[in-house]
Structure 1
Amino acid sequence: MNAVELYAGAGGLAMGVSLAGFKSLAVVEWDKWACDTIRENQRLGFPLVENWPLFEGDVRNFDWTTIQEEVDLLAGGPPCQPFSMGGKHKAHDDARDMFPATVDIVRQLRPKAFILENVKGLTRSTFANYYQYILLQLEFPEVPSRKDEEWFDHFLRLQTERSSGKQKKQQKLTYNVVPTLVNAANYGIPQKRERVFIVGFRSDLGVEWGFPAATHSYERLLHDQWITGEYWDRHGISRRSRPTMPVSVEAKVRKMASSFLEPDTLPWRTVRDAVEGLPSPNAKMAAKFANHRFQAGAKIYPGHTGSPLDLPAKTLKAGDHGVPGGENMLVHADGSVRYFSVRESARIQTFPEGFLFHGSWTETMRQLGNAVPVALGHIVARSVAERLVRKKIEQLQHRSTTASRGAA
């Protein structure tokens, strides 16, 4: 199956797509540093990216007529700054809003499916109408805005198209769109990263799809930490060295213990899980690990308190000018803090161990803060691939049955 990746960044979602069995026809990214990271890994022969046809530039400047093969999947994370909690909240008035360009590309390539990822802020009440506008554009890509038409007027016209059903009756290009707000920690990512995934399947395929069920939970982590102690045993931490149970979870743990019910999920993965086997970045042995250098200057201040060792990390962020203060910090049990190294951050974002990041600490942390966790991208892309393969098998079986009846 073939895929096209837009706004690829350092390749988090694109790697997940490749792991799901898709062949990349184009990988498009405008940022030089992110492209340098991909090119450096291609030069080193890293398998997942080695054969990616990388294009450095704006998706609007790519000649999409050069894609002659059928596109099974279009994937990408349009720039999130217009909707980010830490951004300027301009949405459609922000020049970085690339959803209109994305819809144009969907209209040109007619992919069987698409996966788009963006920040939780997109779902805020402030953007309610514009969020619905984005979804309707993706549902009806062949109803573009008219010259000089304001976005809200186009939005109202798209609502009319949906209620009339005219597009589907005329067998125009339409998609069944499923938006889902996801916490990455619930899928085994060692990070509490809430993101919106917008997944669509071309309507003519008749595919029914739902977002994959969560596999990990906070309740199971609490169970393994404070009821059975399995978490601490796994990390070789003696009873004497274990931290005290936080007051904030005491009532919940007591209730779980009295019910004798063991959660049927896996535990959330924590920072400790993610960095296991790595020495401290300021230790002598750290030099043996790529992208694992100590960065001075970490400090706590209001709103930026870092990530406790025995919980999933807080959302890694890029910021407008690199790492935003204390967001990307590790908090030790004694309360001391330090910045995550690039390698630790890569593990938190589930990038493969052999994948190297190119550029200064600020630039590499920007790439990581903007990335889709590779493992989460793989989970979503794999579920889409399974539905597409199943549909293809159904079509082949139908043709075979029809041909057999015809021959008889």
Structure 2
Amino acid sequence: MTSLRTVEICAGAGGQALGLHKAGFRHDLAVEIDPTAAETLRQNLGGEVAVGDVADIGVWRPADYEGVDLLAGGVPCPPFSIAGKQLGSSDERDLFAWAVEQVAVMRPRALMLENVRGLAAARFSGYRQRVLDRLAQLGYVADWRLLHAADFGVAQLRPRFVLVALRPEDAVYFRWPEVAGERVTVGEELRDLMSANGWAHVDDWVALADGIGPTLVGGSKKHGGADLGPTRAKRAWEALGVDGKGIADSAPDKNAPHPTERLPRLTLAMVARLQGWRDYDGWDFAGRKTSQYRQIGNAFPPPVAEAVGRAIRVALEHAGMPHEVPELSADIHDPVYRALAGAGDFVSIDRLTGALNEFSHASVERRLAILAQDFVVEQRVTPSGTMYRLGEFKGFTGQADHERHGYIQQFKSRIS
């Protein structure tokens, strides 16, 4: 199988990289800001690994990789996470729009970006619309899809919002991967690891752990340690027979209490298994316990990356039957954004109301208020009513004077 070339940004510990390798891609470059995660990549991935802020041209130059087959990445999640403030473009960590802008520089045949399901929320409809419209301007057909890791053989839900964009001649061969078989429970997945020291009650534990795990939470250098996440997540793990307050150094010993008396904790090997790494992958994580857990918990599950990677590979090789694709930028996520962006000038509230097929000015004004979190929305009061014009996008797309640069310099040691 001929390898296709990929560049991966915000590569983390290599969950996406491993899946893409299994799908037939090989990395020309992986870029990661965390030195320990970068060391994990070096130990396992092969190829070049650049360490530092992905938007710093001193770390790497996107133009040097023009024509690569795939630009991939898992850009920071906090700007869109429902567990955070959902600041979107106002969050200095946001790199999604910047990553899309690199398509203009690198002209890859395909783009694949993944993030948390929060990006699928109504709060970010204008943000998503801008992404689709920008990719359409660049000549790509783009689509979003919410994928659950549990549908691809991973014993946790872990919903991820994935963007794939391809050139029209390749997009006609792309189909999102289908669900891969029956779901696997936590107990079934971890039986062998939990019984590694001969625990007498492992069968009872497997029966108790008869369900899909909640999403693993890796945390960050600023928040979160080697435990399974916030209180709600810990309660969900407790219902599956797991003590989520920490990570164990080893599996329960032979005489460990029954799980109804004391719940066992997961080991790093168990967490990696739940995230989709397999023993035969031989993937070794660098760093100490907390760092290893953070790397694993924040990763994109390899089986999901492999499934999407294979679908992209089929499209790039023009395998299978072509199908109809929508016209470029036909997918409408935010009609108010589209109406404002298409006008290029001030638009009346009545016209925007018509774009929504609604009769309430208040409904349009609510949408405008949401839009104003990511874009400058100008107003002009006229005798016939208020008019609106879409101004600049507030997010980082590579501007030399953007406030993000100062944030990165000040808090670089805390970013992961």
The answer to whether residue 306 in structure 2 is matched with residue 373 in structure 1 is no
Q: Give the Cα separation in 2 of the matches to 1:67 and 1:132.
A: 27
Deviations 1:229-260 (A, max 9, x none): xxxxxxxxxxxxxxxxxxxxxxxxxxxxxxxx
How do residues 276-315 of structure 1 correspond to structure 2 at under 5 angstroms?
Answer: 276-279=191-194, 283=197, 309-315=209-215
Task: Confirm or deny: 8 A CA contact 2:314 2:320 kept in the other structure.
Answer: no
* SS of structure 2 residue aligned to 1:182: strand
Tell me the amino acid that sits aligned with residue 268 of structure 1.
R
How do residues 8-407 of structure 1 correspond to structure 2 at under 5 angstroms?
Answer: 8-39=11-42, 41-42=43-44, 49=45, 51-61=46-56, 62-67=60-65, 70-140=67-137, 173-205=138-170, 207-215=172-180, 266-279=181-194, 283=197, 309-319=209-219, 320-322=223-225, 323=227, 324-325=229-230, 327=233, 329=237, 331-332=240-241, 334=260, 336-353=262-279, 354-390=282-318
1:91, distance to aligned residue in structure 2 (A) = 0.6
Shift in CA distance, 90/273, structure 1 to aligned 2, threshold 3 Å: same
Q: Give the Cα separation in 1 of the matches to 2:191 and 2:47.
A: 31
Q: Give the Cα separation in 2 of the matches to 1:379 and 1:204.
A: 21
Deviations 1:204-252 (A, max 9, x none): 545342211213xxxxxxxxxxxxxxxxxxxxxxxxxxxxxxxxxxxxx
Task: Confirm or deny: 8 A CA contact 2:170 2:315 kept in the other structure.
Answer: no
Q: Give the Cα separation in 2 of the matches to 1:267 and 1:366.
A: 28
The CA RMSD measured in Å over matched residues stands at 2.6
Tell me the amino acid that sits aligned with residue 175 of structure 2.
G
Shift in CA distance, 100/206, structure 1 to aligned 2, threshold 3 Å: closer
Q: Give the Cα separation in 2 of the matches to 1:56 and 1:208.
A: 35
1:308, distance to aligned residue in structure 2 (A) = 6.1
1:137, distance to aligned residue in structure 2 (A) = 2.7
Tell me the amino acid that sits aligned with residue 273 of structure 1.
E
Paired residue for 2:397?
A: none
Q: Give the Cα separation in 2 of the matches to 1:57 and 1:138.
A: 26
Tell me the amino acid that sits aligned with residue 66 of structure 1.
D
Task: Confirm or deny: 8 A CA contact 1:271 1:308 kept in the other structure.
Answer: no
Aligned-residue identity in percent: 33
Task: Confirm or deny: 8 A CA contact 2:174 2:314 kept in the other structure.
Answer: no
Task: Confirm or deny: 8 A CA contact 2:173 2:321 kept in the other structure.
Answer: no
The count of corresponding residues between Structure 1 and Structure 2 is 281
Paired residue for 2:376?
A: none
Task: Confirm or deny: 8 A CA contact 1:205 1:391 kept in the other structure.
Answer: no
* SS of structure 2 residue aligned to 1:371: coil
Q: Give the Cα separation in 1 of the matches to 2:114 and 2:178.
A: 17
Q: Give the Cα separation in 2 of the matches to 1:337 and 1:139.
A: 52
The TM-score with structure 1 as length reference comes to 0.64
Shift in CA distance, 96/280, structure 1 to aligned 2, threshold 3 Å: farther
The TM-score with structure 2 as length reference comes to 0.62
Task: Confirm or deny: 8 A CA contact 2:173 2:318 kept in the other structure.
Answer: no
Deviations 1:158-181 (A, max 9, x none): xxxxxxxxxxxxxxx311111111
Q: Give the Cα separation in 1 of the matches to 2:208 and 2:120.
A: 27
* SS of structure 2 residue aligned to 1:23: strand
Q: Give the Cα separation in 1 of the matches to 2:104 and 2:208.
A: 45
1:280, distance to aligned residue in structure 2 (A) = 5.5
Shift in CA distance, 139/280, structure 1 to aligned 2, threshold 3 Å: farther
Task: Confirm or deny: 8 A CA contact 1:117 1:197 kept in the other structure.
Answer: yes
Deviations 1:372-391 (A, max 9, x none): 10011001101110111126
Task: Confirm or deny: 8 A CA contact 2:173 2:319 kept in the other structure.
Answer: no
Gaps of 5+ in 1: 43-48, 141-172, 216-265, 286-306, 395-408
1:336, distance to aligned residue in structure 2 (A) = 4.4
Deviations 1:259-307 (A, max 9, x none): xxxxxxx3211111221311368x589xxxxxxxxxxxxxxxxxxxxx9
Paired residue for 2:204?
A: none
Tell me the amino acid that sits aligned with residue 317 of structure 1.
V
Tell me the amino acid that sits aligned with residue 186 of structure 2.
V
Q: Give the Cα separation in 2 of the matches to 1:338 and 1:373.
A: 24
Tell me the amino acid that sits aligned with residue 216 of structure 2.
L
Q: Give the Cα separation in 2 of the matches to 1:33 and 1:284.
A: 33
